[in-house]
A and B are shown apart, each in its own frame.
Chain A
C-alpha cells in the first residue's frame, strides 16, 4: 500500500495525467465515436484527473472517451447516446450522466459520497427506470464500521461517541446508530444550524464523549466549526477523528481517508466486472489509508499505534 499523501500523489502523477486527459479530449474533439465508454469528469481539478488517470491506466483495455459536463451542455442526450458505459467522476458528472444517459446504459459513479449518490439516484429514479439504466458506485467516504473500528483502536475503552450533524448529514444517522449498536457504543450528538453558537452546542457533546467523530456537512461544517472543534478537543482532552488528512495535520488525532488513486484503482476493478457483463452493487472502496497525528495524541495523553499498524488491523478485520 502506498503511503504517499494525497498532495504528493497528485503532483507525482501530474505529467501522466496531462497526457491521458489530452489524449481523451483529442478523441472527443475529433469525433471518433468508436468508443462505447465515456469517462466523465466533474471538473478539471487535479483530484478528478488523478482518479481518471488511475482508471485509464488500470482499467480494462478498452477505448474510453473523456469529457466534462461543461463541454457537453448542448445536445447532451445526443452526446451521450453512443456510450454504453459512463464512468462519472464526482457529483456533477454523475448527475449529468443520470440526466442524459442513454437507454440500457450503465453508469459507474465514482469519487462520490454515498449520500450524494443516493440523493441523485432518488432524484432521477424515474428516468433511470424508464431508460433501463443500471447504476452502481464507488463511494468516496468511509463505511461507518471502518470509522468506528478506527475509533475503537484509537480509544480502546470507547463507550460514548460524540458528533454533530447538519441538515445533510442527518441522513447518516440510521447507519451510525446501527454501526454503533453493533460495536456497543452509545451515541451523543447534536444537530447544528447556522444560527447556532458552536461553543454552546458542541461543548456539552464534547465534554460527555470519549471520542468525537467529525462528520462533514457543507451547511454547518465550516472553518468556524472546524476551529472550535479543535479547540474543544484539546481543552477537553477528547480526541477528534477526522475525514481528511489536512484536518489531521491541523489537530485531529486520526482520519481514515481514500485517495484519488485508491478510488481510481477500485473503480478500474469494478469496470473490469462491468465489462464482463456484471453490475456490482454500489460500494465503498476497500482501499484506504490511515493518517495520524502522534503529537496531538501525546497532548491528549493517549497512546496510539502507528498509522501503518492501525491500517493493517482494520484491513485484517475487514478481510475476515
Chain B
C-alpha cells in the first residue's frame, strides 16, 4: 500500500475494527468465520474519519512521518509544514509563525483547521492558530496528516481549504523515553523530555519542556525573545475488551513577542504572556461486529495577556496630555499595549458512530457541539464574554461495491449561532487503474462560518465622560461588527493520480485542482454615516472598517509529492514536493484612504505561484545520518505585510543541512548528536515582512533515548 509505514499501520489497528467482514457475512453467528482470517486492516486517515487506505480516501493527503521529521532540519512544527505541497509556512517574527494552504493570507491564516490528536487548536478570537503557544514540540510528534483541499465536510468550517492533524507519540509506536537538549542561534536553549510507562490498565506518556531564546537582533536594538514551558500527559486504558478510554491533558505558559516587523525609530515588539491548558477525554466502545461508538469531550483555555498601556504611552497617540490620556484609558479599560490578547475558552463534544453494514460499505455519522467564548475589550468592544455556539451533523458513506471503484459521499450540516445553517457536501470517486495506480476525483461545496472574531470584531475608542458633551461620545470608530456577514463559499474540483511503485520503493501523488471562493471575508473600509460623524467629530479619518463578504478569487493549479524510501543499504529517503497555483480575483477594500468609490485590490500577487521543497537523507553504516532540505517560494505579497504598491517579497531558495551521529551506548540507551544548519548558504531572504530577514542559523542537538 502506498505510503504505508509501520507506525502508520500500527496506528491503524487502534482505529480499525478488524472483524467487520465477519459480522457482515455471518450475521448472527459468533463462531469463527473464514473472514476472520482475511480481514483487512486499513490505514486510518483524516479525510473522512473512516479507516481508509490512501487510494480510497477522497482527498490528497500528505503524511509527514517520524522518519521525515527526524531527517528534517525543522525545529518548529510550522517549519515541518514546508514539506507539504501547496502549503506556505512563514515566520512572522523569530518565534511566531503561520502556515497557510494556497496562500491568500495575512499573519492569521483563517482557512485551515489544525488539530492535535483530533482536538482543534484553532483560536476563534484570532481566526488562526498560535503555533508558539501549543503544549507540544516537534519532539512529541509521531506524524502529521495534512488533508490538502477542503475538508469542511469532515471537520467543519475551519477546514475550509485544508486540515492538519498532528498526532503525538503513543507507546504503541514509540516506547522510548528521552531527554533532548538544543543549543544554538539567538542563544536558544531548549530542553525536552518524554517518558512512557505501562500501567495495569494501559499506558501513559508524559512530556515536558522548557524552550527559549533571545530572539533576533533587529535594528534599533529591538529583539523578540521567547520562552515556553509546557507539560502534557496522555493515557490510554482498556478496562474491558470493548471499551477504551483516552485522556489527554496539556499545559503551557510563557511569553512571546508580537507586532509587525517594521524597523524605524521607536519601533519594537510587545511582550505577550500566554497560559494555556486543555483536557480531552475520549471513550470508544465496540458494538457488534465492527461498529464503534465514540464520544469525545474537549475543553481548552487560552489566556493571553500583556502590559496595560500607560498614560505616558497613550498621550502621544491621541495628542493629549498625560492626564487626559489617563482618563481615556480609564474609560476604555482594560487597554493593553497589544490587542493580540484575550481569554478564550472552548468546549467541544462529539459523538460518532462507525458502521459497516456490508463488506463493501462503511458509514460514519456524527454530531458535534462547540461552545466558544472569548473576552477582549479591544477586539470585541465589551468587557463581557462573547459566546458563539455551533452544532454540526455529519456523515460519510464509503461504497466499494463496483469493481475498481470507491465512492465517497458525505455532507456536513453546520449551524452557527447568529450566522445560520449551511450544508457542505462532497462527492468523490476513486478509480483503481491498476494494482499500483488510482485516479481520484471529487467535487465539493464548502462553507466557512465567520469566526467569533469575524462575527464580532468591534473596536471603538470612547471619549471620557467629562469631555463627551463637547467632543461627542466616540474618539475613533476603528472597526464595526457586521451583523450581515455571511459564510464564505467554496466550490472545488479535485482530480488526482496516485501511483505506487513498490519495487522502486516510490510513491507519487499528483493533484489538479480548481477552487472558487465567493463571499470571501475581508476587511473593508466604510465612510461613516451622519450619526457616526455626529458622535465622533474628532475621528481621525471619518472611516471605519468592517469584515465584509467582499472578496472573490479562484485558485487553479497542480501539486505533486514524490517519496522514495527504503530500509535497505544507506536507508535512503527522498521527498520532493511541488505546488503551482494560479490565483485570480479581487478584494474590495471599500473607501480605503477616504476614496468615495470602492478601491479594488487585485489578489493575483497575494499567492506565491510556486512552492517547492525537497528532502534527501542517507544513513551511513557508522550511523551517521546526512540530510539536506531545500525550500523554494516564488515572489508574493502577503496580505497586511506588503502593500499593493510595494514590491513583493523576492523569491527565495533556502538549503538546510542536518548531520546526526547515533551512538548505541547499550541495548537500551542511544545517544544522538545533531548539527543543524538552516540556510546553509547564508542567503538572507524576507519572511513575510520585507525586513524580517532569515539568515543562517546553526543549532546543536543532543538526545539520549532510554
**Chain A residues engaging chain B, CB cutoff 8 angstroms:** 6-8, 11-12, 14, 18, 42-43, 45, 47, 90-92, 111-113, 115-116, 119, 140-141, 167-169, 192-200, 203, 216-228, 230-231, 234-235, 243-244, 246-247, 249-251, 257-258, 260, 293-296, 301
User: Which residues of B503-549 are within 8 A (CB) of A?
Assistant: none
Please indicate the chain A residues that have their CB under 8 angstroms from the CB of B202 in the complex: 199, 228
Please indicate the chain A residues that have their CB under 8 angstroms from the CB of B360 in the complex: 45
CB-CB under 8 A for A227 and B13, given A42-B25, A194-B242, A218-B19: yes
User: Which residues of B209-240 are within 8 A (CB) of A?
Assistant: 238-240
Q: Are B238 and A224 in contact (CB under 8 A)?
A: yes
Q: Are B9 and A226 in contact (CB under 8 A)?
A: no
Q: Are B31 and A92 in contact (CB under 8 A)?
A: no
CB-CB under 8 A for A223 and B16, given A6-B38, A192-B241, A251-B6: yes
Q: Are A295 and B567 in contact (CB under 8 A)?
A: yes
Q: Are A249 and B286 in contact (CB under 8 A)?
A: no
Please indicate the chain B residues that have their CB under 8 angstroms from the CB of A218 in the complex: 19, 22, 30-33, 36
Confirm or deny: B14 has a beta carbon within 8 angstroms of a beta carbon on chain A. yes
Q: Are A234 and B175 in contact (CB under 8 A)?
A: yes
What 7 A-B pairs are tightest by C-beta distance, nearest first? A246-B41, A216-B36, A249-B9, A250-B9, A250-B13, A251-B10, A140-B34
Please indicate the chain A residues that have their CB under 8 angstroms from the CB of B650 in the complex: none
**Chain B residues engaging chain A, CB cutoff 8 angstroms:** 1, 4, 6, 9-10, 12-19, 21-22, 25-26, 29-41, 171-172, 175, 198-203, 238-244, 286, 359-360, 403-404, 432, 434-435, 567, 667
Q: Are A113 and B175 in contact (CB under 8 A)?
A: no
Q: Are B242 and A18 in contact (CB under 8 A)?
A: no
Q: How far is it, in angstroms, between the C-alpha of A12 and the C-alpha of B404 when the chains are bound?
A: 11
Q: How far is it, in angstroms, between the C-alpha of A194 and the C-alpha of B285 when the chains are bound?
A: 12
CB-CB under 8 A for A115 and B25, given A218-B36, A231-B172: no
Choose among A113, A193, A203, A251 the residue that contacts B34 (Cβ–Cβ < 8 A).
Answer: A113
Q: Are B32 and A295 in contact (CB under 8 A)?
A: no
Q: Are B25 and A90 in contact (CB under 8 A)?
A: yes
Q: Are A222 and B6 in contact (CB under 8 A)?
A: no
Shortest Cβ distance from B26 into chain A, in angstroms?
Answer: 6
A-B contact pairs, 24 of them (CB 8 A): A8-B435, A11-B432, A11-B435, A42-B34, A45-B35, A90-B35, A113-B32, A140-B37, A168-B31, A192-B241, A194-B242, A216-B37, A223-B13, A224-B241, A224-B242, A226-B18, A227-B244, A244-B37, A244-B38, A250-B9, A250-B13, A251-B10, A251-B13, A295-B567
Q: Are B30 and A168 in contact (CB under 8 A)?
A: yes
Choose among A168, A200, A247 the residue that contacts B41 (Cβ–Cβ < 8 A).
Answer: A247
Closest to A193 in B: B241
Choose among B198, B286, B432 the residue that contacts A223 (Cβ–Cβ < 8 A).
Answer: B286
Q: How far is it, in angstroms, between the C-alpha of A222 and the C-alpha of B667 when the chains are bound?
A: 33
Q: How far is it, in angstroms, between the C-alpha of A183 and the C-alpha of B206 when the chains are bound?
A: 44
Q: How far is it, in angstroms, between the C-alpha of A230 and the C-alpha of B174 when the chains are bound?
A: 12
Q: Are B39 and A90 in contact (CB under 8 A)?
A: no
Shortest Cβ distance from B430 into chain A, in angstroms?
Answer: 13
Q: Are B33 and A224 in contact (CB under 8 A)?
A: no
Q: Are B175 and A227 in contact (CB under 8 A)?
A: no
Q: Are A217 and B32 in contact (CB under 8 A)?
A: yes
Please indicate the chain A residues that have their CB under 8 angstroms from the CB of B241 in the complex: 192-196, 198, 220, 222, 224-225
Q: Are A230 and B172 in contact (CB under 8 A)?
A: yes
Shortest Cβ distance from A91 into chain B, in angstroms?
Answer: 5
Shortest Cβ distance from B167 into chain A, in angstroms?
Answer: 15
- Given A222-B19, A246-B41, 9 more A-B residue pairs with CB atoms under 8 Å apart are A7-B1, A111-B34, A113-B36, A116-B33, A140-B34, A218-B36, A224-B241, A251-B10, A294-B567
Shortest Cβ distance from B522 into chain A, in angstroms?
Answer: 46
Closest to B243 in A: A224
Q: Are B567 and A249 in contact (CB under 8 A)?
A: no
Shortest Cβ distance from A4 into chain B, in angstroms?
Answer: 9
Please indicate the chain A residues that have their CB under 8 angstroms from the CB of B10 in the complex: 230, 250-251
Q: Are B13 and A230 in contact (CB under 8 A)?
A: yes
Q: How far is it, in angstroms, between the C-alpha of A231 and the C-alpha of B203 when the chains are bound?
A: 9
Q: How far is it, in angstroms, between the C-alpha of A224 and the C-alpha of B19 when the chains are bound?
A: 11
Among B10, B17, B244, the most chain A Cβ lie within 10 Å of the Cβ of: B10
Q: Are B26 and A92 in contact (CB under 8 A)?
A: yes
Closest to B242 in A: A194
Closest to B170 in A: A231
Q: Are A43 and B359 in contact (CB under 8 A)?
A: yes
Choose among B15, B31, B175 the residue that contacts A116 (Cβ–Cβ < 8 A).
Answer: B31
Q: Are B34 and A227 in contact (CB under 8 A)?
A: no
Shortest Cβ distance from A68 into chain B, in angstroms?
Answer: 11
Closest to A43 in B: B25
Please indicate the chain B residues that have their CB under 8 angstroms from the CB of A193 in the complex: 241
Choose among A18, A141, A203, A230 the residue that contacts B37 (Cβ–Cβ < 8 A).
Answer: A141
Q: How far is it, in angstroms, between the C-alpha of A225 and the C-alpha of B26 when the chains are bound?
A: 21
CB-CB under 8 A for A224 and B244, given A45-B359, A230-B13, A249-B41: yes
Closest to A192 in B: B241
Q: How far is it, in angstroms, between the C-alpha of A168 and the C-alpha of B37 when the chains are bound?
A: 14
Please indicate the chain B residues that have their CB under 8 angstroms from the CB of A197 in the complex: 200-201, 238-240
Q: How far is it, in angstroms, between the C-alpha of A42 and the C-alpha of B27 when the chains are bound?
A: 12
Please indicate the chain B residues that have their CB under 8 angstroms from the CB of A42 in the complex: 25-26, 34
Please indicate the chain B residues that have their CB under 8 angstroms from the CB of A258 in the complex: 37
Shortest Cβ distance from A99 into chain B, in angstroms?
Answer: 14
Closest to B292 in A: A223
Choose among B1, B32, B171 the residue that contacts A216 (Cβ–Cβ < 8 A).
Answer: B32
Q: How far is it, in angstroms, between the C-alpha of A275 and the C-alpha of B8 when the chains are bound?
A: 48
Choose among B33, B404, B434 the residue that contacts A113 (Cβ–Cβ < 8 A).
Answer: B33
Among A6, A168, A218, A226, the most chain B Cβ lie within 10 Å of the Cβ of: A218
Q: How far is it, in angstroms, between the C-alpha of A47 and the C-alpha of B404 when the chains are bound?
A: 14
Q: Are A112 and B16 in contact (CB under 8 A)?
A: no
Q: Are B200 and A200 in contact (CB under 8 A)?
A: yes
Q: How far is it, in angstroms, between the C-alpha of A140 and the C-alpha of B175 when the chains are bound?
A: 35
Q: How far is it, in angstroms, between the C-alpha of A6 and the C-alpha of B1 when the chains are bound?
A: 12
Closest to A228 in B: B238
Q: Are B14 and A227 in contact (CB under 8 A)?
A: yes
Choose among B4, B29, B238 the residue that contacts A91 (Cβ–Cβ < 8 A).
Answer: B29
